[in-house]
Amino acid sequence: MSDALKLYDAELSSRLMLGTSLYPSPAIMADAILKSKAGVVTVSLRREAGNSRAGQSFWSLVKGLNTHVLPNTAGCHSVKEAVTTAQMARDVFETNWIKLEVIGNQDTLQPDVFGLCEAAEILCRDGFDVFPYTTEDLSVAEKLLRCGCKILMPWGAPIGSGRGLNNTFGLRSMRAHFPDVPLIIDAGLGVPSHAAAAMEMGYDAVLLNTAVAKAGDPVAMAQGFALAVEAGRLSYLADAMEPRDMAFPSTPVIGQPFGKDSFGA
């Protein structure tokens, strides 16, 4: 049975999504993405330099990776800025997909959830397939879905922090509350075990950048995350055992041919 992930109009065989910034070189970035077999890569319009297309060589490199491209509105702090950036990105990257970021706090890069919902409503009406970078707040999530979003992307931790899943209770609650909505952990993952934990929780995919790009060996780290995502997904599908407070023998004593007194003990 296929376990492909359906996101809007695309079916993906990989549940790992990678960013394209901060790598030591474009060649290392390309190698990391190819070796990990990531299903989606995110690209900032600023990297492409807008309508001037000054980053045409970079864009050509990304297109050659043969993966789905998800433009983002990284660095936008207002609804107007995010909407304008999304519209420009659609022209440059020739896709209706957009990872919508509206930043509310400069220190934590936490989403401005009010501006996010406003911008999401505008972009959904304009025909965009919106991937909103949000928090684990259920009321915000419900509003984003009402706006027309069909995917939610809650943060694991602040962007680039590498702290993993800061609020596992909130993330588990979101997964339980929206069982049929694709949920993607976006931001804050630092090591492959963080990705495995998210997938074991039932999340559909993970998106990260800094943990791979700033690793000593980005290619090896990208492959590590790919394996962790696969392992976590398999664990979730296998319906892992629940933790116990007490030990439970894997080899029961009852029914064995020798009891504790068999040798005169």
H or E element in which residue 33 lies: helix 26-36
The phi, psi pair for 70, rounded to 5°, reads: -120, 95
Confirm whether 6 is a catalytic residue. Answer: no
| Residues found in the chain | 265
40-44 vs 68-72, strand pairing mode? parallel
The phi, psi pair for 17, rounded to 5°, reads: -120, 135
Query: Which one from 6, 35, 80, 99 is the annotated catalytic residue?
Result: 99
CB 44 within 8 A of CB 75: yes
Reference 196, options 162, 159, 161, 224; nearest CA is 224
The Cβ of residue 41 has, within 10 Å, a number of other Cβ atoms equal to: 20
- Report the C-alpha gap between 200 and 234 in whole angstroms: 8
Catalogue the active-site residues: 99
